Amino acid sequence: MLIPFKIVKMHPSMISENEKKVEEYLEAASIHHFKAAALLNDGEYEKAAHNALLVQKYLDLASEKKRGKTA
């Protein structure tokens, strides 16, 4: 099941480079999330699954970046 989420952007001067990268990953996850939902509605299950995997990849990257595990 896909759960919608929304990203609230902060003022650019208030966030670090690390936080900007996290934001980019979350934005990419959001885009693929909506693509997956639309593809599911259209019956394009293979393409929807591919986008769902991309969502998870970007969420994992954001999580790792937030914990400081990636450069």
Mean pLDDT, 10 residues at a time, the chain of 71 residues: 66 74 93 95 96 96 86 54
**Per-residue confidence (pLDDT) for residue 47, from 0 to 100:** 97
- pTM (predicted TM-score): 0.74
Please name the residues in contact with 18: beta carbons below 8 A apart, sequence gap of 6 or more: 65, 66, 68
CB-neighbour burial class of residue 32 (10 A; exposed 0-12, middle 13-18, buried 19+)? buried
Collapsing DSSP states into helix, strand and coil, what is residue 24? Answer: helix
Sketch the domain layout of the chain as residue ranges: 17-65
